[in-house]
Amino acid sequence: EVQLVESGGGLVQPGGSLRLSCAASGFTFSSYVMRWVRQAAGKGLELVSGISASGTYTYYADSVKGRFTISRDNSKNTLYLQMNSLRDEDTAVYYCAKVGGSGNYDVPDYWGQGTLVTVSS
Amino acid sequence: EIVLTQSPGTLSLSPGERATLSCRASQGVGNSYLAWYQQKPGQAPRLLIYGASGRATGIPDRFSGSGSGTDFTLTISRLEPEDFAVYYCQQYANFPRTFGQGTKVEVK
């Protein structure tokens, strides 16, 4: 059974930093693209960042480029999101998601339960 | 950036009724790379449909997707009590991947 368990969320002041982790199990982690998607309270979904299976290629939304860094440790089956220079508008639930495959199936097919990040003074 | 507009914003129906949800794209979605997700309160999204019409693993056949180009539809043939939720469409033809704003299916 595929399991994705996020951790590391919490309350942080504007300008602060936080590191999210996502522990994966139930599939061959090193074979799949992974992504972080966030959702502000009562709002829709936003793709924040993605990383290729090997970690060579990364993607960032314009809203977080230069502030967030995605990485992965395939030996530990863990995905990370380092968030620096946090802003009020980064407040959201952050989900990690496994991508199903390529082409037609290049979509998140499994999601974690999310971790809440609150940026406030 | 492809903007996805979902309609209606809220759909009020009774169990057993048919639900038809629309997702319109601001430009053509190449290869029909359009997905649908279901989200219940306090839960993560669940993949329902990929490639506009392919059902994800374990999704009941009362859920079906159709469409191409700029107009896509999610149909729930007979609403079950567990189907009342928010539904999002997402395009993955281009970066940035974008989501619609969601349609809430509520009990009438």
What pLDDT does A62 receive?
A: 96
Does B59 touch chain A if contact means CB atoms closer than 8 Å?
A: no
Work out the average pLDDT over B65-91.
Answer: 97
In this prediction, residues B88-104 reach a mean pLDDT of 95
Q: What is the pLDDT of residues B15-28, one digit of tens each?
A: 999 999 999 999 99
pLDDT of residue B58: 94
Inter-residue contact A110 to A35 (CB < 8 Å): no
Residue A102 to residue A107: CA distance in whole angstroms: 8
* Per-residue buried b or exposed e for A33-65, using 16+ beta carbons within 10 Å of the residue's own CB: bbbbbbbeeeebbbbbbbbebeeeeebbbeebe
CA distance A87 to A79: 22
CB contacts under 8 A, B 78-107 vs A, are: 88, 90, 92, 95-102
The pLDDT of residue A116 is above 90? yes
A75 vs A62: CA distance, rounded Å:
30
Region A31-55 average pLDDT = 96
Yes or no, beta carbons of B99 and A45 under 8 Å apart: yes
Q: What residue type is assigned to position B95 of the chain? A: F
CB contact under 8 A, B97 and A47: yes
B51 touches chain A (CB under 8 A): yes
Residues in A touching B97 (Cβ below 8 Å): 47
Alpha carbon distance A62, B87 (integer Å): 25
Task: Report how far Cα B60 is from the mean position of its chain's Cα atoms.
Answer: 14
B70 alpha carbon, distance to own chain's centre = 14
- Residue to mutate among B3, B97, B101, with most A CBs inside 10 A, is B97
Task: Find the chain A residues whose C-beta atoms sit closer than 8 A to any C-beta of B.
Answer: 37, 44-47, 59, 61-62, 95, 100, 103-114
pLDDT of the residue at A104: 83
pLDDT tier at A103, thresholds 50, 70, 90: confident
Chain B hits for A110, CB-CB cut-off 8 Å, are 47
Give the residue-averaged pLDDT of A2-13. 97
Q: What is the pLDDT of residues A77-90, one digit of tens each?
A: 999 999 999 999 99
Q: Token pair for residue B71?
A: 């107009």
Q: In what order do the strands lie in the sheet with A18-25?
A: A3-7, A18-25, A78-83, A68-73
Q: What share of chain B is helix, strand, coil (3-state, %, to 5)?
A: 5, 50, 45
Q: Which residue has the tokens 């974690």?
A: A112
**Residue of A65, A94, A104, A115 to mutate, interface with B, max B Cβ within 10 Å:** A104
Cβ separation of A111 and B44 shorter than 8 Å? Answer: yes
Closest CA to A71 of A58, A61, A84, A62: A58
Enter the tokens of residue A54: 């090997």
Q: Nearest C-alpha of chain B: how many angstroms from A97?
A: 10
Instruction: Kindly determine whether residue B33 and residue A106, on different chains, have CB atoms separated by under 8 Å.
Output: yes
